Amino acid sequence: MAELITGLDAAKVRANLERIRAELPDTVEILAAVKYVPLEEMGTLEDAGITLVGENRAQDLEAKATAHPGLRWHFIGQLQSRKVKQILPYVELIHSVASDSALRQLERHGTPETEILVEVNIAREEGKAGIDPGDLGAFIERCPVTVAGLMTMPPFAADPEASRPYFAALRELAGAHDLRHLSMGTSQDYRVAAEEGATIVRLGTILYA
3-state secondary structure the chain: CCCCCCCCCHHHHHHHHHHHHHHCCCCCEEEEECCCCCHHHHHHHHHCCCCEEEECCHHHHHHHHHHCCCCEEEECCCCCHHHHHHHCCCCCEEEEECCHHHHHHHHHHCCCCCEEEEEECCCCCCCCCCECHHHHHHHHHHCCCEEEEEECCCCCCCCHHHHHHHHHHHHHHHHHCCCCEEECCCCCCHHHHHHCCCCEEEECHHHHC
pLDDT at 1 (0 to 100): 54
Phi, psi angles (nearest 5°) of residue 55: -115, 145
Give the largest Cα separation in the chain, rounded.
Answer: 47
What percentage of the chain reaches a pLDDT higher than 90? 98
In a domain, 3, yes or no: no
In a domain, 1, yes or no: no
Q: How many residues does the chain have?
A: 209
In a domain, 24, yes or no: yes
In a domain, 126, yes or no: yes
CATH number, domain of 180, equals 3.20.20.10
Measured CA to CA, the distance from residue 20 to residue 209 in angstroms comes to 13
In a domain, 2, yes or no: no
- Average confidence (pLDDT) over 13-41: 98
For the stretch 123-154, pLDDT in tens is 999 999 999 999 999 999 999 999 999 999 99
> Where in the sequence is the domain holding 133, given as residue range(s)?
10-208
- Average confidence (pLDDT) over 180-186: 98
In a domain, 85, yes or no: yes
CA angle 33, 173, 73 (to 5 degrees): 25
Could you tell me the pTM of the whole model? 0.96
In a domain, 29, yes or no: yes
Tell me how many domains the chain contains: 1
Inform me whether the pLDDT recorded for 176 exceeds 70.
yes
pLDDT at 3 (0 to 100): 86
For the stretch 102-111, pLDDT in tens is 999 999 999 9
User: pLDDT-based confidence at 112, cuts 50/70/90?
Assistant: confident
In a domain, 166, yes or no: yes
For the stretch 59-82, pLDDT in tens is 999 999 999 999 999 999 999 999
Nearest to 98 by CA among 63, 133, 74: 133
